Amino acid sequence: MLDTIPTAIHLRPAPPATHVAASPALDNELLRAHRVASDKLDQDDVTWLAKGFRAYLANKGRIPLERCLRLPANEAACQRAIRDYWLRLAWRRVPGDLSPWCRSEGLSTAIKRFRATKWVRWNETRALDVAADSLDEALFEAFRCHERIPSTAMQLHNIAQEAQTH
Which carries the bigger pLDDT value, residue 60 or residue 166?
Answer: 60
* Separation CA 25–CA 66 (nearest Å): 14
% of the chain at pLDDT higher than 70: 82
End-to-end C-alpha distance for the chain, whole angstroms: 31
Rg over CA atoms, the chain: 17
141 near 76, Cβ under 8 Å? no
Q: Give residue 34's pLDDT.
A: 83
Which carries the bigger pLDDT value, residue 7 or residue 80?
Answer: 80
pLDDT at 17 over 60: no
